[in-house]
Amino acid sequence: MMKKQKYIRLLLCLVFFAKTSSYAQVMEEMWDKGTGLKEHPNVGWFKDAKFGLFIHWGLYSKLAGKWNGKNYYGSGEWIMNQAKIPAAEYAKVASTFNPVNFNADEWAQLASDAGIKYLVITAKHHEGFAMFDSKASDFNIVKATPYGKDPMKALATATAKKNIRFGFYYSQFVDWHEPNGGRNSWDFDESKKNYASYYSQKAIPQLKELLTNYGPLGIVWFDLPGGLTKEETQKLVDSLHALQPQSLFSSRVGQGLGDYKDFGDSEIPDAPVKGAWESIYTHNDSWGYIEHDLNFKSPAAIIQLLAKVASKGGNLMLNVGPDGNGRIPYHSVKYLRETGKWLKKNGEAIYGTTYGFIPQQPWGVTTAKPGKLFLHVFSRPGNGKLLVPGFSNAVKAVYALGNRQSVSWKKAGNDLELQLPAFAQDAPNTVFVVEYTGAQPGYDNKSAQIVSGQYATTVLDAHTARLSGNPKTKSFTFSHYFGDWKHETCVIDMQQKKDSISFQLRVTEPGDYRIVLEYSCGQEGFKQEGVIGFAGQQYLFRTLKTGEFEKNTPLLFIKHAVSIATVQQPGEYTLSIHPYQDGKELFKLRSVILEPVK
Ligand code: FHN
C-alpha cells in the first residue's frame, strides 16, 4: 500500500477511535470528577455506612392515598397537592392524627436488625406539619393532635441506643400550609409570596429547633431547595453548621452546597462516582404510606440494589412509609429483616467498601477494599466457571465470604477463573472474595464486555456503547404514577444510516444468541428499519411503537426479540446498530440483551 494511503488510513482510524472513544472519555470524566462537592471532614462514617433507612411519616400517612372517596397513586406524601386540598381543610387531619402504635424502640430495633447504619425521618415535609414539638409553629404533633407527644425525641433516643446515626429530613422551601411557603398555588398567589419571611418565621427557627433539641444529628436532609440565593443558602448552611459542626447536610440544600451528594429519586449513576453520595429508593412506589400500594421490592431486589449502589461507590438509603397509626408496613418489616440476615453474613462486602474495579458482569457486580475484591454473584454460571476479566493483580486467595470455604481458581493472562462450589441457584447474592497483592487497579471501563452462554441473559446497557455520528446518551426522568421517579439512560438521535453505536464484546462460548432490543419508540419513529452487525453477519429489524413520547410522561419500553445470531468461534466481536436508511430517530435504546439459545 502506498505510504500516503497508509497515512490516510492511520489518520482515519485515529479519527474513528477518537469519535468512538467518547464512551471511555465520559466514564473517565464522570467518576474522575466525583461528586463535585467539598467533602466534610466528618464524612468517613457516612462513606462506610453504605445502608440507611429513610422514613416518610406525616399527616399524609393517615390519609393513606385516599381523599374524598378517591384513590391516589404515586407519592402518598403529595396527596394535598395532587387533590389540591385547601390548607385549612387539610390542617383538620391533625385533629384525628393519633399514632398510638408508634414505638420508637421497635423502629430502632428493626433498623438494627436490617443492618441499617443511619436513619433519616421527615421532621416536616411539604405539607408543613411538624412531626416534632415546635415553638415556631403550632401546626405540630404536640400542639395540634390528640397524640400530644414528640415522636422525634423518642426516636433520637432509641436510635442512639442502637448506635444508629439519626437525622432529619426537612422541606426547607416547599410548604403548602404557609401563605409564604413554596409551591401552594391553589390557595395562595405565588407572585405575592414573601419567601424571606417564610424562612425567617418558620423554616430557619424550626431547623434551629431540630439542630438544638434532639442531640447530635448525623444528617440534615434538605429537599427541593428554593427561594434563596447562593449567598443566602451559604449563610443558612453556616448558621446551622455552627449548631452541629459534625452533622452532614445533603446536597438538596441547594446551590451546589452540601456535604455529600444525593442523586435523583431512584437513581444510580451509570458509572462509579468517587466521594460521598447516596441513592434513595422507595420500598414500594411511594415515599408516604399508601394503603393500596403493595408493590414492595423483594429482599433479593433490596440486596441486589444495595450491592449495585455500593459497586458504584455509594450508599443506599431505602425508604419505608409508616401508616397513620405509627406502624411500619408488614412487608417492609419482613423484607428489611431478610436483608439484615444477608448483611449479617456478608456485610464485609458492603460496609466500608469502595466501588469495585471490575465493571458489571453477566454474573453480577464488584465492591472493593484494599487487597480484596468482592464478587457479588447474582447469577451462577451454568458450568460453575466464573470469569473475572481484566484482573491483573497476583492472587493470594479466593474463598466464599459466607463460609470462608476456599474456591479453586486459575489465572490465564488477565483472566481470573473461579470454579464455583454449588450454591442455591435462587440465592440473591453469593459473595466470593479475591485477595490479591499489589495496588488496587483503576476502574476498568475499556475492556470488552463479556458474553457467555452460561447466563440466561447478558444485558448491554446502552450507555456503555461507543457512539459514532449523531447518537448521544441521554438520561430520562419520569414517573409512571406521580412522583415514583424512574431514571433511564438511553441512546437517542440515531437518524441517519451513518449514525451508529457499537459494543465491544468478548464472546466466551460460540453458539446461537437471540438479540433482543429494549427501546422506546413513538409515532414518528416506528416501522423504521435498522441493521445489526454482529459476528460477520447483518440482521434487519423494524421498530415497533411503544407509545407517544412527551416531556415528563412515562417512557414505556419494549423488549423486542429481533434475530438469532450465530457465533462460530469464541473471541472479540463488535456488535453495531445503525438505521437502515436516513429517516427519523430510530428509537430510544435502553439496552441490547443477548440470550443463549439452548
Ligand atoms: O417531593 C419530595 C418527595 O415527596 C420525597 O420526599 C422525595 C424523597 O427524595 N423528595 C422530593 C422529590 O424528589
Is residue 97's pLDDT more than 50? yes
In short, whether 64's Cβ falls inside 6 Å of ligand 1 is no
At residue 38, the 3 state secondary structure works out as: coil
Residue 550 lies inside a defined structural domain of this protein: yes
- Segment 573-586 shows an average pLDDT of 97
Q: Same domain, yes or no, for 283 and 370?
A: no
Ranges assigned E (strand) in 98-164: 118-124
pLDDT category of residue 90 using cuts at 50, 70 and 90: very high
Q: Which residues of 534-558 are buried (b: 16+ CB within 10 A; e: fewer)?
A: bbeeebebebebbbebeeeebbebb
Residue 225 lies inside a defined structural domain of this protein: no
Q: Same domain, yes or no, for 370 and 322?
A: no
As a whole number of angstroms, the distance between CA 17 and CA 467 comes to 10
- Four-residue CA torsion sign, 242, 243, 249, 253: negative
At residue 10, the 3 state secondary structure works out as: helix
- Residue 12 has a pLDDT of 40
Q: Same domain, yes or no, for 393 and 493?
A: no
| CA of residue 132 to ligand 1 center, whole Å | 19
As a whole number of angstroms, the distance between CA 118 and CA 131 comes to 19
C-alpha cell at 45: 462514617
- Four-residue CA torsion sign, 299, 589, 592, 34: negative
Q: Same domain, yes or no, for 83 and 180?
A: yes
- Residue nearest atom 13 in ligand 1 by C-alpha distance: 265
In short, whether 121's Cβ falls inside 6 Å of ligand 1 is no
Ranges assigned E (strand) in 56-117: 66-67, 70-71
| CA of residue 369 to ligand 1 center, whole Å | 33
In short, whether 484's Cβ falls inside 6 Å of ligand 1 is no
| CA of residue 330 to ligand 1 center, whole Å | 23
Over the Cα atoms of the chain, what is R_g?
A: 26
Amino acid in position 97: F
Cβ-defined contacts of 210-215 (< 8 Å, 24+): 210/123, 210/132, 210/152, 210/168, 210/170, 211/240, 211/243, 211/244, 211/247, 212/243, 213/132, 213/133, 213/153, 214/132, 214/152, 214/153, 214/156, 214/166, 214/168, 215/156, 215/157, 215/160, 215/166
Residue 563 lies inside a defined structural domain of this protein: yes
| CA of residue 142 to ligand 1 center, whole Å | 25
Q: In terms of pTM, does the model score above 0.85?
A: yes
CATH number of the domain bearing residue 431: 2.60.40.1180
As a whole number of angstroms, the distance between CA 513 and CA 564 comes to 5
User: Greatest CA span in the chain, whole angstroms?
Assistant: 91
| CA of residue 527 to ligand 1 center, whole Å | 38
Residue 100: Cβ-neighbour burial (10 angstroms; 0-12, 13-18, 19+): exposed
CA atoms within 13 A on the CB side of 568: 3
Q: Same domain, yes or no, for 432 and 499?
A: no
Strands 261-265 and 66-67: unpaired
- Residue 551 has a pLDDT of 66
Of 310, 332, 348, the one marking the end of a domain is: 348
**Domain range for 181:** 49-213+273-348
3-state helix, strand, coil in the chain (%, to 5): 25, 30, 45
CATH number of the domain bearing residue 580: 2.60.120.260
As a whole number of angstroms, the distance between CA 418 and CA 294 comes to 40
Is residue 75's pLDDT more than 60? yes
- Segment 401-412 shows an average pLDDT of 96
- Residue 442 has a pLDDT of 87
In short, whether 504's Cβ falls inside 6 Å of ligand 1 is no
Residue 122 lies inside a defined structural domain of this protein: yes
- Residue 552 has a pLDDT of 61
In short, whether 63's Cβ falls inside 6 Å of ligand 1 is no
For the chain, the straight-line distance linking the first and the last C-alpha, in angstroms and rounded, comes to 46
386, 422 contact by CB (below 8 A): no
CATH number of the domain bearing residue 188: 3.20.20.80
Q: Same domain, yes or no, for 371 and 496?
A: no
Q: Pick from 59, 60, 175, 223 the residue to mutate for probing ligand 1's pocket: most ligand atoms within 8 Å of its CB.
A: 223
314, 273 contact by CB (below 8 A): yes
Q: Same domain, yes or no, for 282 and 375?
A: no
In short, whether 75's Cβ falls inside 6 Å of ligand 1 is yes
Q: Same domain, yes or no, for 553 and 437?
A: no
Q: Same domain, yes or no, for 278 and 200?
A: yes
C-alpha cell at 493: 438521535
- Residue nearest atom 4 in ligand 1 by C-alpha distance: 77
- Which has the closest alpha carbon to 318: 301, 342, 341? 301
Please state the domain count of the chain: 3
Residue 265 CA: nearest ligand 1 atom is: 9
Q: Same domain, yes or no, for 389 and 502?
A: no
pLDDT category of residue 9 using cuts at 50, 70 and 90: very low
| CA of residue 52 to ligand 1 center, whole Å | 16
| CA of residue 485 to ligand 1 center, whole Å | 9
In short, whether 168's Cβ falls inside 6 Å of ligand 1 is no
Is residue 10's pLDDT more than 90? no
Ranges assigned E (strand) in 159-223: 165-170, 219-222
Residue 75 CA: nearest ligand 1 atom is: 4
DSSP state of 203: I
Amino acid in position 401: L
Residue 586 lies inside a defined structural domain of this protein: yes
In short, whether 81's Cβ falls inside 6 Å of ligand 1 is no
Q: Same domain, yes or no, for 288 and 184?
A: yes
- Residue nearest atom 9 in ligand 1 by C-alpha distance: 265
Q: Same domain, yes or no, for 385 and 477?
A: no
87, 181 contact by CB (below 8 A): no
C-alpha cell at 421: 462450589
- Which has the closest alpha carbon to 354: 379, 339, 374? 374
Can you give the three-state secondary structure of 505-563, one letter per residue? EEECCCEEEEEEEEEECCCCCCCCEEEEEECCEEEEEECCCCCCCCCCCCCCCEEEEEE
Is residue 13's pLDDT more than 50? no
Is residue 22's pLDDT more than 60? no
Residue 169 CA: nearest ligand 1 atom is: 6
Residue 160 lies inside a defined structural domain of this protein: yes
- Segment 552-576 shows an average pLDDT of 93
- Four-residue CA torsion sign, 229, 234, 235, 237: positive
Percent of the chain with pLDDT over 70: 94
460, 575 contact by CB (below 8 A): yes
- Segment 66-93 shows an average pLDDT of 98
Residue 241 lies inside a defined structural domain of this protein: no
57, 131 contact by CB (below 8 A): yes
Residue 41 lies inside a defined structural domain of this protein: no
As a whole number of angstroms, the distance between CA 552 and CA 240 comes to 35
What is the four-CA torsion angle of 346, 348, 351, 355, rounded to 10 degrees? -100
Of 348, 378, 399, the one marking the end of a domain is: 348
In short, whether 317's Cβ falls inside 6 Å of ligand 1 is no
Is residue 444's pLDDT more than 90? no
Residue 224 CA: nearest ligand 1 atom is: 11
Residue 56 CA: nearest ligand 1 atom is: 6
| CA of residue 223 to ligand 1 center, whole Å | 7
- Segment 221-237 shows an average pLDDT of 97
Q: Return mean pLDDT, the chain.
A: 93
Residue 426: Cβ-neighbour burial (10 angstroms; 0-12, 13-18, 19+): exposed
As a whole number of angstroms, the distance between CA 167 and CA 416 comes to 43
| CA of residue 549 to ligand 1 center, whole Å | 24
Amino acid in position 216: P
Tell me: the pLDDT tens digits for 334-388? 999 999 999 999 999 999 999 999 999 999 999 999 999 999 999 999 999 999 9
Of 389, 417, 442, the one marking the end of a domain is: 442
- When mean pLDDT is compared across 166-170, 212-216, 311-315, 545-549, the lowest value belongs to 545-549
In short, whether 120's Cβ falls inside 6 Å of ligand 1 is no
- Residue nearest atom 5 in ligand 1 by C-alpha distance: 287
